Amino acid sequence: MGVTRTKKSTSLKRKRKDPPGDDNDDGRRTKSENVSIGKLTSQIKNKQRRSEVYGKLLHEQSVEKKKRRQLRQKEELRALENGETPAPRQVPKTIENQRVIDETHIVREDEEEIHNEDKEDEFASYFSFNSSPKIIITTSRKPSGAMFKFLENLFTVVPNAYYYARRNYHVKEMVKHATARGFTDLLIFNENKTFSKGARVNGLLHVHLPEGPSVMYKLTNLILSKKIRNHGRATSHYPELLLNNFSTRLGHRIGRMFASLFPQKPEFKGRRVVTFHNQRDFIFFRHHRYVFEEKKGVRRRHGGHLSTAEVDEESFSKNRIKKSSKRKSKPSLALPSGEDEEDGDEEDVQFSGDEDSDSDSDEFKAGSSSDEDSDDDDDSSSSGSSSDDDDDDDDDDDDSDDDSGEDEDGKKKEKKPFERKKKLTKAQKKKIADENDDRPTSVIARLQELGPRFTLKLMSVQKGTFDSKHGEFEYVRSTETDGTRKNRRKFVL
C-alpha cells in the first residue's frame, strides 16, 4: 500500500526577529535600560528606516539626559539656598577606578619594607649620591635617517649622554665595553626594517650597568619636536623629573630605573620638566618648560558651574570706552569756514590732474575764499599786486640767503634728511599700552611642550644584564594575565 503524504501549507514569509526593547503603537522602539541604541536598531534591514529610528532614539536620549542635568542643577541650587550641602555627584565607572588591586599594589603597611629593599637594590648607589648618571646611547644595525632625527631630539632631554655607533657589536660586548668605561646605563633603540614603508622607531632596550636589570619596551606614537605646534627650545639645564602613578612593586622598580637616568640636582632656573606618566600600563613621556607671563588685571577664581563672575563698574566702563574709541567715524566733506553755500555752488571741485584744479585744491585747503580767485581790472588792485610782488621778491632773497648754507658765524649748516615716521609693531604697541595701563599685574604660569613625545609599553624585565639565552626574567608580558580584552582591569605597573 502506498503512503500518501499531505503537504502542509507553510508560509514563505520570513519571521522578523524583534529586537529587544518595548514597541510603541507607531512601531518605534524605545531604548531599554541595559541595551544600547545600536543593538536596538541592528535588526532593521532597511538602511533608511534604521537610520531614522537610530536618529530618533539618539535624540530622545539626549533630551532625557538634558532634563536630568537641569533637574540636578535645580536641586543643587535649592540646597545651596537653604544652606545645605548638595547631593554628591555620581562617579562614572572607568577602567582606572575599577582596577583590581592585588597583593603587588603598594599599601602604607608595605612602605617600610620597600624602603629597606631600596637600600640594597641596584640603584642604591645612585640615590645615595655615590655615583652620577653617565649614559651611552646607540641604535640597531644600519640605522636610518629617521633614527638620527629622533636621537637629535633625545639628546636635548637626557643630560650626560654619549652616542656610539652600533656597527657589528653584540649587546654583551657593548655591555662589557660600557662597564669598563664607567657608564651607568645603556640605551639601545630599535627600528623596523621595512624601508619601503618608511623606517620607524619601535623599541627600546634599557640596561642598567653594571648589575642590571635589563628592561625591554615597545615604543609607539613618536612625535618629534618639529611637528609639535608652538614647541619651545630646550636649554642645557638639568630637568626636574616627575614620575606619576607607578603604584605597584614592579612599577616602583621601573620608576627608580627611569630616575637613574637624570641627575638628582634639578636646575629650576631652566624651568624644564620631564614626565613619565603611567596610565593603564602605558608610560607616556613628555618634555615641558614652565613659562611665566605677566598680564594686566587680576584673574579671579571661578567658584564652580553654579557661580557667576563679578565685574567691577570701573573695569566695565573702561572696556566700554575702549570699544567706542575703536569704532571709526565715517569721513565727511565739510566746507571751510567763511564760505556760503552760494560760493560753493559757483565753484566746481575738480579731482583731475590739471593745473587749475591743483591751484584750486591748494587754495581750498588753505581756506582761501572764492573772491580772491576772481581777477579785478581796477588800478588799485594792480598797484596792490605789484607791491605784493615786491614783498615776495624780498622774501625770496631772504630765503636764498638762508639756503646758502652758512650761519652768521660763517659755519655751514648740515641739511637734515627727510625722516619718515616708523610704524610701531604689535609688540611695541602692546608694551606702550601696558606701561600706560594702571591696573595691577598678575603672573600666569603655563606649560610649553619642548618634545619629543612617545609612549612606552613594558614587555619584559630581566635580572642582571641582557642575556638572550640564559637570562632569568622577573616579568614577561602575557596576554592571559595582564590588562587585555579578557581582563582589562588587571594592571602591572
What does the pLDDT read at residue 306?
46
Inside any domain, residue 155:
yes
Task: Name which of 354, 349, 352, 356 is nearest 334 in CA terms.
Answer: 349
Q: Are residues 78 and 117 in the same domain?
A: no
Q: Residue 68 falls within a domain, yes or no?
A: yes
**Under 8 Å CB-to-CB from 432, ≥6 apart: which residues?**
424
In a domain, 162, yes or no: yes
Specify if 178 maps to a domain.
yes
For 72, counting Cβ atoms within 10 Å of its Cβ (0-12 exposed, 13-18 middle, 19+ buried), the class is middle
Looking at residue 298, its pLDDT comes to 59
- The confidence score (pLDDT) of residue 399 equals 47
Whole-angstrom distance between the N-terminal and C-terminal Cα of the chain? 81
Cell 581582563 found at: 487
Domain residue limits at 63: 45-82
Residues 69 and 138 in one domain: no
CA atoms within 13 A on the CB side of 485: 0
Closest CA to 284 of 493, 49, 481: 493
218 shares a domain with 162: yes
Residues 159 and 286 in one domain: yes
Contact indicator for 140, 189 with CB cutoff of 8 Å: yes
Give, in order, the Cα–Cα distances in Å from 204 to each of 122, 186, 214, 363, 459. 20, 10, 10, 84, 10
Same domain, 181 and 272: yes
Q: 294: domain CATH number?
A: 3.40.50.10480
Say whether both 244 and 150 belong to one domain: yes
Same-domain check for residues 152 and 231: yes
Question: Given this model, what pLDDT does residue 425 score?
Answer: 86
Same domain, 145 and 263: yes
The answer on 68 and 122 residing in a single domain is: no
Place of cell 610701531: 424
Residue 374: which residues within 8 A CB-CB, separation 6 or more? none
CA distance 46 to 285: 48
Q: Tell whether 121 and 68 lie within a shared domain.
A: no
Does a structural domain hold residue 18? no
Give yes or no: residues 126 and 258 share one domain: yes
Local confidence pLDDT in tens for the 493 residues of the chain = 444 444 444 443 444 444 444 444 444 444 445 688 888 899 999 999 999 999 999 999 999 999 999 999 999 999 999 988 888 888 888 877 888 888 888 887 778 889 889 988 999 999 999 999 999 999 999 898 999 999 999 999 999 999 999 999 999 999 999 999 999 999 999 998 765 667 889 999 999 999 889 999 999 999 999 999 999 999 999 999 999 999 999 999 999 999 999 999 999 999 999 999 999 889 999 999 999 887 776 555 555 544 444 445 555 555 555 555 555 454 544 444 444 444 444 444 444 444 444 444 444 344 444 444 444 444 444 444 444 444 444 444 444 444 444 555 555 556 556 566 678 888 888 788 777 777 777 888 899 999 899 999 999 999 989 888 888 899 998 776 666 556 667 788 8
- In this structure, is residue 491 part of a structural domain? no
CA-CA-CA-CA torsion sign (72, 76, 81, 84): positive
Q: How many structural domains compose the chain?
A: 2
**Residue 452 · residue 150 · CB < 8 Å:** yes
Which pLDDT does position 151 carry in this prediction? 95
- Domain membership of residue 142 (yes or no) is yes
pTM here? 0.62
Q: Is residue 117 part of a domain?
A: yes
Residue in the block written with cell 632656573: 269
Q: Is 288 found in the same domain as 140? A: yes
